[in-house]
Structure 1
Amino acid sequence: MSPAASPLEILTPAEMARADALAVAAGIPVTRLMEAAGRAVARAAMRRFRPVRTLVLAGPGNNGGDGYVAARLLEQAGWPVAVAALAPPRDGAAAVAAARWRGPLRPFAPVEAARAGLVIDAVFGAGLARPVEGLVAATLAAAGGPVLAVDMPSGLDGATGQVLGHASQAALSVTFFRRKPGHLLLPGRALCGEVVLADIGLPAAVLAEVAPRCAHNQPGLWRLPPLQPDAHKYGRGHVTVVAGAGMTGAARLAAAGARRGGAGLLTLLAPDRRSAEVLRGGAPGVIVTEAPLEELLSDPRRAVWVIGPGLPAEAATLAQLRRVVVAGRAVVADAGALGAAAGDPAALSGCAVLTPHEGEFTRVFGAIGGDRLAAVRRAAATTGAVVLLKGPDTVIAAPDGRTAINDHAPAWLATGGTGDVLAGLIAALIGAGMAPFEAAAAGAWLHGEAGFACGEGLLAEDLAGRLAAARLRACGVSVAAARG
């Protein structure tokens, strides 16, 4: 059993609209869905907050309709509730919900929001396409107490997590059926506060027709290869890390990530005798060689390579990478290899996985812009490689358009060398038989899990020692149970 229990699929606002339409076509009335959504909002409010003067800011669409339902149910529970409508509902289920509201109405104005002990933001949903400005922005900004957002704070683009004009900080966001990208991508993730995912009665069967291409990166998205009773070191994968002369520590960190990530054998390819001597002073289980690249490539068991950590961003690094790719090996490219390909993404074609941070990504592929998912998808399609864009909202994209968003990472991973460990870890997972997309996604989650276990004050060299426990956690097995 996976340690994560929430659904994996992430729906764009357009896909969510499609899911709603399919449910209605299957005979589920919109009014029933709206009642369920409003009930979920009311329950979340009652669980999180004490009864206080509550103002529901209602828009003219279905998001506002959810707000009217929540207002009615909270009032029935004895809460002091009023509704401020931006505009009357246009028609349909929202109009029905508004007609059932018999409680007080207030002007849609900043002064009213300032008086409230709780503001329920039911103005616009995740599908907003225009900036929130003027009266709406001023009223939301004037909230005198915490904000509970219906779906997500008004002003957030549900597809990208970007702010359109103004979006207020929510303490709690209640969304329905499946999360949207904006719940996981920054700055949206931070502005949503705690996210409650509510079941409102949409059948899971609609997902087959919607066919979402984005997932929340959790262990259920991938499965770590089990270690078979007849396993041997070559069967577990032989990872080769190309080391540089000036920053041998980066290669050693990648080697540690690969070894603790499950690689059966690890070779460090040193550029010269002096570097080899330094590297041989490290972990005793690492093979260090100065042999020519072609000699190592003649051994087909050396199937996975890490190229970039500690290497200079120069043509010679790219030349090495191209020779390994042409030889048919799986390459995880990071750091110096990415720097050497600045402005030339075609130079990275044929790699298995690229692991840039934002600066490296921008130098190779150009500005990310406001749509992080789209930018990483384009990069993957351009190179034919899985691209893992590192950050607090890591995005992994495959050339076929599949994406995953990883939010399972502590802030203290932001320190030098942790990316080298990640590159080695991903290489080990590929060596164990995982496909590049699944290996990159699993590597990102395991890396974050190890980071959480290390705690604040983490150093890159601490991470590898926590990977074994992270693997057990991914399989749903506690360390204590494994020891028992």
Structure 2
Amino acid sequence: MTAAEMKRAEQALIDSGISVEELMRRAGQGVAQMIWRIAADMPTVVLCGPGNNGGDGYVIAQWLLEKGVDVSVAAPLEPATEAARHARSLWQGKAVSLHDAQPAAQFVDCLFGTGLTRAVGEDWFADFTRLYAGAKRRVAIDLPSGVESDHGTLLNDVPAFDTTIALGACKPSHYLEPARSKMGDLVSIDIGISADSNLEILPKPRISGPTSRDHKYSRGLVAVVAGAMTGAAQLTAMAAQKAGAGYVKILRPPAFHRRIPVSWSRPCRTWRICS
């Protein structure tokens, strides 16, 4: 789901009578249970931002604390939302400023999640990086801080996490590069969201080698539309031919000049350049 779709889905739950605090409890406790299954009692520092993602962090920290984990909370600011303030009031462990926080074996990133549209400030991100570097395991909640939700864009120089735990539904950036390479293992926590999205994840294509009965048409036709600068079209055509297409066609402007190495001509594969 996109950030806007996720916001609408959460609001629909709230309109049905489920409080923001209850959604936060579901998210935080679901994540904490997943972290417990992955890392058990590994000493942990949870980085909590001022929004609801940070509120999830306080719930995570409290659940782990009750399990006997050596856990602390680092926060750059006090919570800014009512639900996050409620979660902060239930936290019974240590809380320190982000600048004073010390690394632990496990780093849980709850600084920012879905909806981030600008880079994390340099001061905060420097301490974020310090806590990240001092950990053996790194877990991002919803999205790594510094990742834009919908397009796979990195707003900061985001390091790679071991695990990313999506809340309610996966977001486009969980699958789009360059963000996808920063996620590590991707898992999702159900918080009761009813997914209503126009997005679809396409399955990976299954490409088989040609048989003795195959010919150029059974292996697929690729049409490449060339612009005024023709290099990209030629590279694309060669890549399609290399990948196994049986017939590659370039639709060209009048000034197009073919510069295809002879070695690219293969049995059962045909070039055609059309004006």
The two structures have a TM-score, normalised by structure 2, of: 0.77
Letter of the structure 1 residue corresponding to residue 177 of structure 2: L
Deviations 1:87-114 (A, max 9, x none): 11123211111111121111212x624x
Is 1:121 the counterpart of 2:109 in the alignment?
Answer: yes
Q: How does 1:2-401 map to 2 (within 5 A)?
A: 11-109=1-99, 112-113=101-102, 115-143=103-131, 144-145=134-135, 146-204=137-195, 207=196, 212-218=197-203, 283=212, 285-286=213-214, 306-307=220-221, 332-333=222-223, 337-338=224-225, 341-343=226-228, 359-360=232-233
Deviations 1:184-237 (A, max 9, x none): 111211111111111112234xx1xxxx22212238xx9x9xxxxxxxxxxxxx
Deviations 1:19-68 (A, max 9, x none): 11111112221111111110122112111114232111111111001100
| Distance (whole Å) between structure 2 residues aligned to residue 343 and residue 54 of structure 1 | 56
Deviation at 1:75, TM superposition (A): 0.1
Does the 8 Å CA contact 1:133/1:165 hold for their aligned counterparts? no
Does the 8 Å CA contact 1:52/1:117 hold for their aligned counterparts? yes
Does the 8 Å CA contact 1:182/1:189 hold for their aligned counterparts? yes
Report the 3-state secondary structure (helix = DSSP H, G, I; strand = E; otherwise coil) of the residue aligned with 1:129: coil
Report the 3-state secondary structure (helix = DSSP H, G, I; strand = E; otherwise coil) of the residue aligned with 1:98: helix
Deviation at 1:287, TM superposition (A): 6.1
| Distance (whole Å) between structure 2 residues aligned to residue 26 and residue 419 of structure 1 | 54
Change (3 A) 1:424 1:51: farther
| Distance (whole Å) between structure 2 residues aligned to residue 164 and residue 417 of structure 1 | 33
Letter of the structure 2 residue corresponding to residue 26 of structure 1: S
Match of 1:467 in 2: none
Deviations 1:404-454 (A, max 9, x none): xxxxxxxxxxx9667642x459xxxxxxxxxxxxxxxxxxxxxxxxxxxxx
Kindly, what percent of the aligned residue pairs are identical? 32
Does the 8 Å CA contact 2:27/2:56 hold for their aligned counterparts? yes
| Distance (whole Å) between structure 1 residues aligned to residue 28 and residue 43 of structure 2 | 18
| Distance (whole Å) between structure 2 residues aligned to residue 305 and residue 416 of structure 1 | 14
Letter of the structure 2 residue corresponding to residue 66 of structure 1: D
Does the 8 Å CA contact 1:133/1:166 hold for their aligned counterparts? no
Deviations 1:135-163 (A, max 9, x none): 22111111211221110110011111111
Report the 3-state secondary structure (helix = DSSP H, G, I; strand = E; otherwise coil) of the residue aligned with 1:90: coil
* Root mean square deviation of aligned Cα: 3.3
| Distance (whole Å) between structure 2 residues aligned to residue 306 and residue 147 of structure 1 | 44
Deviations 1:227-252 (A, max 9, x none): xxxxxxxxxxxxxxxxxxxxxxxxxx
| Distance (whole Å) between structure 1 residues aligned to residue 178 and residue 220 of structure 2 | 32
Letter of the structure 1 residue corresponding to residue 54 of structure 2: G
Does the 8 Å CA contact 1:156/1:167 hold for their aligned counterparts? yes
Change (3 A) 1:26 1:54: same
Does the 8 Å CA contact 1:57/1:121 hold for their aligned counterparts? yes
Letter of the structure 2 residue corresponding to residue 160 of structure 1: H
Change (3 A) 1:218 1:78: same
Match of 1:404 in 2: none
Change (3 A) 1:286 1:107: closer
Report the 3-state secondary structure (helix = DSSP H, G, I; strand = E; otherwise coil) of the residue aligned with 2:22: helix
Change (3 A) 1:172 1:287: closer
The two structures have a TM-score, normalised by structure 1, of: 0.46
Deviation at 1:126, TM superposition (A): 2.3
The count of residues paired between Structure 1 and Structure 2 equals 244
Deviation at 1:177, TM superposition (A): 2.1
